[in-house]
Amino acid sequence: MTQSSPNSPKNKKIVIFASGTGTNAENIINYFNKVKNIEVSHVFSNNPNAKVLQKAHFKNVPAGVFDRDSFYHSTEMLDLLQEIEPDLIVLAGFLWLMPESIIKAFPNQIINIHPALLPKYGGKGMYGDHVHTAVLENKEEKSGITIHYVNENYDEGQIIQQFEVELEEVDTLRTLRDKIHILEYENYPVVIHQLLS
């Protein structure tokens, strides 16, 4: 990591929370590796076996794991975040609700990406393939992604931006998943960049 000289602007910091493979997290890290004065400073996961941890290590981004107890019943994670002072906390496939204490400490600084056009297909249990399956079963004509602020309820925070994709009769779970991933990779880093600019 490059040290900034006393006169240069301090890097803006992104902290990513992820629970799984970390493809979005990796994409965001790659994007900001090419951007001046903004960096992904840390990656955190609630899953000790999450591939995102290996990906972060591989990219030289400090990564840490926490459990339910330290997340919800102590100030451990809150204290750590306040020490890091992130400009933005980005949820990228993170499946737990953020504790109220963290939301209050970082107002309008926590965002999430959802693989559907909210308010449709949101809420507890609606993530990943569960969302895509429901979209296909209901024969929707379009789907997409929603980037939104995080509040105390799943998928109910203020919408920042949505991006749509047309659905065709031949679409399957696999093709829809691929379409949504492309939207995520193309747009999530750009929206993060806009929010930090």
pLDDT, tens digit, for every residue of 30-56?
Answer: 999 999 999 999 999 999 999 999 999
Q: Which residue matches tokens 């965002």?
A: 111
C-alpha to C-alpha distance for 41 and 84, rounded to whole angstroms: 8
Active site annotation includes 132: no
Each residue's pLDDT tens digit, 66-114: 999 999 999 999 999 999 999 999 999 999 999 999 999 999 999 999 9
CA gap 126, 144 in Å, rounded = 14
| Predicted structure pTM score | 0.93
Q: Which domains does the chain have, with CATH numbers?
A: 12-196 (3.40.50.170)
Report how far residue 145's alpha carbon sits from residue 162's, in angstroms, rounded to the nearest whole number.
6
Mean pLDDT computed over 11-19: 97
Dihedral sign from CA coordinates of 39, 41, 47, 53: positive
Structure tokens at 76: 């451990």
Q: Exactly one of 42, 114, 132, 148 is catalytic; which is it?
A: 114
State yes or no: pLDDT of 5 exceeds 80: no
Confidence at residue 10, expressed as pLDDT on a 0 to 100 scale: 83
